[in-house]
Chains A and B, each alone.
Chain A
Amino acid sequence: MSTLFDILASAGLWAAVLRIATPLILGTLGALLSERAGVLHLGIEGIMTFGAMIGWLAVYNGADLWTGFLVAALAGAAFGVLHAMLTVTLGLSQHVAGLGVTLFASSFSYYVFRMLVPVAGTPPTITPFQPLDIPGLTSLPFFGPAFFAQTAPTYLAIIAALLLGLVLFRTPLGLAIRMTGENPHAAESQGINPVAIRYGAVIAGSALMGMAGAFLTLSAFNSFFPTMVQGRGWICIALVVFSSWRPGRALLGALLFAFFDGVQLRLQPALNGIVPYQLFLMIPYLLSIAALAIMARRARVPQALMQPYRRGER
């Protein structure tokens, strides 16, 4: 019990929570935006992988870190165009199209990486983002190292969550997006173009997913390896449901998951030899399923989610 308390009282845990949460926040926001417009986006896992690869590759080839981040966002947006063409223009099954995008984007990442980076014993590295020194805050005891020793993209992700919440719930554009996700026919009869809204939401959402991937290689680690996304995309899909499609709750959900993950990482060495460490790896997922089961029962799914929109058909 005292081990657990020591873990909770360490600033390192809280810093890790924010770091672990960042890609989840960005990815969840991306999937959430897309789903609010009525398009399920299972391409997330692959787009994160590609974003991680292409962002890292840009920096490895001499671009600065922010350019790498931007390249990842643009690459994500390009996959968004593909997903939107499949699901909006062609009206294909959103599940199948999304899984297709994931499989394609992941294998394309490995291919590009293999082609451009020589095989080496230890993977090549870059210099990642460094923690920002925020005057007056970073130097605080405990709180400084716990909450104000992050790299810039982490703060960016938190701001993005608040911003997306404002856009969705306080602007005409947000209302148009939500209406399109609820009833595209109603949106159309009110003078909104549901096709344009869905394209926009899927593309912007995919850009966020690309950035989520880039955080892994440009901030959390300093190199790329093909399996590094490790299901984080799927966690984001679950977090969208957990959040009831609300950006603020998505932020909380991502932090909660990251908290479980951070605690289990620190429990592993403490209880080493007593329990196999694989058991701890399961904990965050089990707790997420439990949280999902509790939260999702009251969730209000966008009514037109996964329904292709065809003009003139009811």
Chain B
Amino acid sequence: MTTPLLEISGVSKRFGANLANDDISLDLAKGEIVALLGENGAGKTTLMSILFGHYVPDAGTVSIDGAALPAGKPRAAIRAGIGMVHQHFALAPNLTVLENVMTGIEPLWAFASRTARARAKLEALSARFGLKVDPDARLGDLSVGEQQRVEILKALYNDTRILVLDEPTAVLTRTEAEHLFTTLKGMARQGLSLIFISHKLDEVMATADRIVVLRGGRKVAERRASETSKAELAELMVGRTVTRPVRAPSTPGAIVLEAAAVTLRLDGVDRLKAVDFRLSAGEVLGIIGVSGNGQAELARLLSGTARPSSGDLLLFGKPMGDPGVAGLVASGIGRVPEDRNKEGAIGDMAVWENAVLERLPRFSRHGLVDRKAGMAFAQEIIARFDVRGGGPATRIRLLSGGNMQKLILGRNLIDRPHILIAAQPARGLDEGAVASVHERILEARKAGTAVLLISEDLEEVMALADRIQAIVGGRLSPPVSAELADARMLGLMMAGEWSAETGAAHAS
């Protein structure tokens, strides 16, 4: 074999007592896609930060074309042809696409920007790799997927040969993610070398040529994608056999929530169009669909932050009226919002404050917050729901996504709610956390809670839901029983194809 394009050998990095990278070696050939697979905290991002010169390793070297790269020099890495696509985009929403890409590429004191030349180069890159963007669009007007394209183009702009993507699908919808992987494969065919960091087995198997598994800062395995399986990778990644739980049969109880021809009109647009569903105690109803088809609006409706424009919403058989958020929480509806960082928790407040915020009246005494009771409540959630990484007084943003989600689930489930609205509950979590979130949801179902599961993950819905309805363009399909559903059928339903014999009319 010829010299690999990139060679990382024997890299170690220690942060205090924590050995983030322990003697890791990795190579990358021209035109190859290598996936760096590992749970959160396995050392993937640290390794890439060393590659990019953000950190100086304690031991080991990075070389490109056989020549060692100076440690800790991002400029040198850029010059050597390494481009980085960060998980949190480094972009400015008020500037245009072209301006975002152009920043910093010219000497600061040049008399005028050479906009025409930059535009031509951007358009050439965009055509070559099939990354369509409008150079003059304001970045903030673009969708997340388009913004990521800009971030990729920016990384490619400096004649990049090695492109590193840090959890590129964490922020994307399913369709956007599929589109991204097609693009990445095309790039590799054109001779670009790619490393992408992920903890999602599906995408790693579908996209990478070779998979390097990290765990606890060590490289535990390296496999060709064609010679491994998801089950093996999952076990290598977690270090033990992880099985996602699957629901056991159960008999649903009384109907607790019912929507009949509910329409929600916001800003003159019908976001939900005459949707019907029935949710019974002790069952999970899965609402499956690609993000942006009305899920957010449905969740708002059931969280008390919006009211139907027409149709009936019955809670425990009675019209819901306008109870407001506090009223809904009091009547026993638990909510797991889609975006846990924005709507589920307040990052700079303590775990215990986040735990009691929804039910402040209960934790008030003489008009003051009962801190002691709140701390005890949080401690109970932490113990019962296995929240790790901090105590009641820790700021919640210091917890990992999985532990934050366990706390959010915990504060809802600890009161044994009648209904749980869970929107994308496992999104962005690593394999171990997904399993424990699923377990909690099934436990709640067993205890008689009616669960409305809004998700775009086929596997998740098939594993948890008793009945499944698809949401497309604000319409809901009639329910199908999970026993009768398979991936192909659900895929068709998500595309808006549902048959009339199940009882519903096509979009007329």
Binding site for B on A (CB under 8 A): 170-176, 178-179, 182-183, 185-187, 189-192, 300, 302-303, 314
Contacts and interface: CB of A to CB of B under 8 A. Distances in A.
Given A170-B113, A178-B95, A302-B94, A187 B103 contact: yes
A179 B93 CA distance: 10
Contacts of A186: 89-92, 100, 103
B269 interface: no
A190 B155 CA distance: 10
Interface in B81-136: 86, 88-95, 99-100, 102-113
A173 B94 contact: no
A203 B394 CA distance: 40
A303 B92 CA distance: 8
A-B complex: 5 closest residue pairs judged by Cβ atoms: A190-B104, A182-B92, A186-B90, A172-B106, A191-B104
Contacts of A185: 90
A230 to B, nearest CB: 33
Nearest to A197: B108
A265 B324 CA distance: 54
A204 to B, nearest CB: 14
Contact of B103 (A170, A171, A192, A302): A192
Given A174-B113, A179-B100, A186-B89, 6 more contacts: A172-B110, A175-B103, A178-B99, A182-B95, A190-B105, A302-B94
Instruction: Name, among A170, A179, A303, A314, the residue most crowded by chain B CB atoms within 10 Å (CB to CB).
Output: A179
B495 to A, nearest CB: 37
Contacts of A191: 75, 104
A303 B93 contact: yes
13 contacts: A172-B102, A172-B106, A172-B108, A178-B92, A178-B99, A183-B92, A183-B93, A186-B90, A186-B91, A190-B103, A191-B75, A192-B104, A303-B93
Interface of B: 74-75, 86, 88-95, 99-100, 102-113
B327 to A, nearest CB: 33
Contacts of A187: 103-104
B154 to A, nearest CB: 8
Contacts of A170: 112-113
A172 B103 CA distance: 7
A165 to B, nearest CB: 13
A172 B113 contact: yes
Nearest to A196: B108
B91 A183 contact: yes
A190 B111 CA distance: 19
Contacts of B102: 172, 175
A179 B109 contact: no
A178 B96 CA distance: 11
A302 B474 CA distance: 35
B92 A179 contact: yes
B96 to A, nearest CB: 10
Nearest to A182: B92
B15 to A, nearest CB: 13
A173 B492 CA distance: 52
Given A176-B104, A191-B104, A192-B103, A303 B113 contact: no
Contacts of B111: 171
B45 to A, nearest CB: 13
A302 B92 CA distance: 9
Nearest to A177: B108
A314 B92 CA distance: 14
Contacts of B104: 176, 179, 187, 190-192
Nearest to B110: A172
A300 B91 CA distance: 16
A300 B110 contact: no
Contacts of A174: 113
Instruction: Name, among A172, A189, A192, the residue most crowded by chain B CB atoms within 10 Å (CB to CB).
Output: A172
Contact of B109 (A173, A300, A303, A314): A173
Contacts of B75: 191
Contacts of A179: 92, 95, 99-100, 103-104
